[in-house]
């Protein structure tokens, strides 16, 4: 549970950094799968998505037919996971900004919602595991879980190795 919280926190700060890079309304047009990729950070978000597709396809060993069935399911799961993460982050942000003004009843409501979100997040893998097993053999589903962890580690390592932005890059943001 601590590991999940730690990873979620890191991903939250990464997503904030990517969001800070900006995006324009023209990029938000298009099919939902594409829109989700772009909303997560413009060109940088698209690049991460391209890398993830290549990484997963190679690590899982997806055939073309399997990929056509797999990616819509995976994107649906990822969208739900992201929506829950963003809702949790919004509740925490509201608490950090307004905690002094909140009543005990409001705090209790926020805590209850956070707990409900965590339960939904924990239920997602079980729900989608069944869907993945309908379109992929068990070995490839296991490869998916390994690929998710490997890709997350890859992104974290890449983020650690990025040089700090120059003064001009910070001003542009």
In a domain, 125, yes or no: yes
- Has residue 92 got a pLDDT over 60? yes
Q: How confident is the model at residue 158 (pLDDT cuts 50, 70, 90)?
A: confident
What distance in Å separates the CA atoms of residue 85 and residue 52, rounded to the nearest whole number? 19
Domain range for residue 99? 7-172
pLDDT above 90: residue 111: yes
| Exposed/middle/buried for residue 24 (C-beta within 10 Å: 0-12, 13-18, 19+) | exposed
Which of 31, 27, 53 has the alpha carbon at shortest distance from 40? 27
* Residue of 72, 96, 99, 82 lying closest to 14 (CA atoms): 82
pLDDT band at 163 (very low <50, low <70, confident <90, very high): confident
- What's this model's pTM, rounded to 2 decimal places? 0.65
Please check the confidence at residue 32 and state whether its pLDDT lies above 50: no
Q: Is residue 88 part of a domain?
A: yes
What domain count does the chain have? 1
Q: Does residue 130 sit within a domain?
A: yes
Does residue 38 belong to any structural domain of this protein? yes
- The pLDDT score that the predictor gives to residue 28 is 40
Q: Is the pLDDT of residue 132 over 50?
A: yes
Q: Is residue 2 part of a domain?
A: no
Residue 69, in any domain of the structure: yes
Query: What's the pLDDT score for residue 93?
Result: 93
């Amino acid at each position: 549970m601590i590991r999940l919280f730690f990873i979620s926190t890191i991903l939250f700060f990464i997503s904030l950094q990517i969001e800070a890079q900006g995006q324009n309304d023209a990029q938000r047009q298009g099919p939902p799968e594409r829109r989700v990729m772009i909303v997560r950070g413009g060109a940088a978000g698209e690049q991460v998505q391209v890398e993830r597709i290549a990484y997963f396809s190679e690590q899982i060993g997806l055939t073309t037919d399997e990929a056509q069935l797999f990616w819509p399911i995976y994107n649906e799961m990822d969208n739900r996971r992201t929506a829950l993460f963003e809702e949790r982050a919004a509740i925490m942000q509201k608490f950090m900004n307004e905690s002094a003004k909140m009543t005990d009843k409001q705090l209790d409501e926020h805590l209850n919602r956070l707990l409900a979100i965590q339960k939904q997040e924990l239920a997602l893998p079980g729900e989608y595991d069944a869907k993945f097993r309908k379109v992929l053999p068990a070995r490839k589903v296991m490869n998916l879980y390994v690929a998710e962890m490997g890709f997350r580690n890859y992104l974290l390592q890449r983020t650690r190795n990025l040089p700090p932005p120059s003064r001009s890059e910070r001003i542009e943001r």
